[in-house]
Chain A
Amino acid sequence: DIQMTQSPSTLSASVGDRVTITCRASQSISSWLAWYQQKPGKAPKFLIYKASSLESGVPSRFSGSGSGTEFTLTISSLQPDDFATYYCQQYDSHPLTFGGGTKVEIK
């Protein structure tokens, strides 16, 4: 199985900050990585696929990068609506696996 490790597990930031979340795969997954945002009590929302492609309707302040084993999700200017937990997920091979999540909190 491919293990996905996210860091940090919690991140405290202020509105307007640039935020970066890292996701590492235990082996190369090329660019087969997705990112999701989840708010309390809600289903996850699909943000990014193929490591850097923005899903339709997702604000352009979100961006993804990386390939192989190291990936990042960046929020260029944090907005109040962005405080949430973010998950990466690899789909290079089954079993599909998620990272442990990064909670973005208000500083």
Chain B
Amino acid sequence: QITLKESGPTLVKPTETLTLTCTFSGFSLSTRGVGVGWVRQPPGKALEWLAVIYWDDGKYYSPSLNRRLTITKDTSTNQVVLTMTNMDPADTATYYCVHRLVNYGMDVWGQGTTVTVSS
């Protein structure tokens, strides 16, 4: 059974850097075709794809956030980390970690973690 769980701060100040960790089980991020990504959802708004990292260390980012995002993986601890710099109140959202396979959708989602940006 595949599970993912997000962890990180619930409150960050404007201009700070957000670090979110996705801890997963039930699959290996060393297996060909596997990826772990991040999706966010501001309150009352639509889903927004942020980034993904694949088994071969391929990384892709949302163009609008590319300069602020970094995604990394640690296959030994089954974790993926997303950092977002220069946080703004507009970044207030629920952040989801997701599992995907190439040529497939995002089939398993974490429960999400809510991040509020406020001074």
Interface of A toward B, CB cutoff 8 Å = 1, 32, 34, 36, 38, 43-46, 48-50, 55, 87, 89, 91, 94-101
The answer to whether B103 has its CB under 8 Å from any CB of chain A is yes
The answer to whether B63 has its CB under 8 Å from any CB of chain A is yes
Q: Which residues of B contact A36 (CB under 8 A)?
A: 47, 105-106
The contact sample of 26 A-B pairs, CB cut-off 8 A, is A1-B63, A32-B103, A34-B104, A38-B47, A43-B96, A44-B47, A46-B105, A46-B106, A46-B107, A49-B107, A89-B49, A89-B106, A91-B100, A91-B104, A91-B105, A94-B52, A95-B49, A95-B60, A95-B62, A96-B52, A96-B60, A97-B49, A98-B47, A98-B48, A99-B46, A101-B46
**A43-B96 Cα distance, complex, nearest whole Å:** 8
Cβ–Cβ contact A43 & B111, under 8 A: yes
Most chain A CB within a 10 A radius of its CB, from B39, B96, B105, B108: B105
A34, A87, A95, A101: the one contacting B61 at CB < 8 Å is: A95
**A49-B101 Cα distance, complex, nearest whole Å:** 11
Interface residues of B in 76-119 (CB under 8 A from A): 96, 100, 103-112
Q: Which residues of A contact B61 (CB under 8 A)?
A: 95
CB within 8 Å: A-B pair count: 63
Nearest Cβ on chain B to A39's Cβ, whole angstroms: 12
Cβ–Cβ contact B110 & A43, under 8 A: yes
Nearest Cβ on chain A to B27's Cβ, whole angstroms: 15
Q: Which residues of B contact A96 (CB under 8 A)?
A: 37, 49, 52, 60
Q: Which residues of A contact B103 (CB under 8 A)?
A: 32, 50, 91
* Minimum CB distance partner of A56 in chain B: B107
Cβ–Cβ contact A98 & B112, under 8 A: no
A46, A97, A99, A101: the one contacting B108 at CB < 8 Å is: A46
A34, A38, A101: the one contacting B106 at CB < 8 Å is: A34
Nearest Cβ on chain A to B82's Cβ, whole angstroms: 15
Most chain B CB within a 10 A radius of its CB, from A38, A43, A87, A99: A43
